[in-house]
Amino acid sequence: MTDPRAVVQAALSEVTDAPLVTDEEGDQTFVVDGVPAFIQHGRLGADVNLLTLTCLAASGQPLSPALDRWVHERNAAMLLGGIVLLTGPEATADVLVRYCLPSDSLDAARLRSVLLPVIAAASDVRRELVAWQAERI
């Protein structure tokens, strides 16, 4: 059985802006097109190995009903992954794009073909959020 961390390393080695960093738990962080991202390795039950990709589309956004509505509407249009608002201090939120997939039987090429569109979606969310905020000023 192939080590899923090695598969992630191979899948992202040619597209990351900075080195892929593996922490003490084996989870991996990287940056693609200016988007910081994090891959967690986990299990669902006894039989399913999972990868969870989390991309930081924006941080410290002013929390408001309008932002919540924007995220909800944009989420409905997502093909891969979902947008999550993570509430922070002082009525702010981080905007995350998350995607989870089974990691068994993935090779680097197949993993890259799934991860890159999700990372691109996070870049799109970032650009769209900036444009939406500019319209509101």
Residue among 113, 100, 130 nearest 34 (CA) = 130
pLDDT digits (tens, 9 = 90+) for 61-100: 999 999 999 999 999 988 888 999 999 889 999 999 999 9
pLDDT digits (tens, 9 = 90+) for 8-19: 888 888 788 788
CATH 3.30.1460.10 fits 4-136, yes or no: yes
pTM attached to this predicted model? 0.88
Give 47's pLDDT tier (boundaries 50, 70, 90): confident
pLDDT digits (tens, 9 = 90+) for 93-121: 999 999 999 888 888 888 888 888 988 89
Q: How far is CA 97 from CA 6, 35, 76, 81, 135, in A?
A: 23, 10, 13, 6, 22
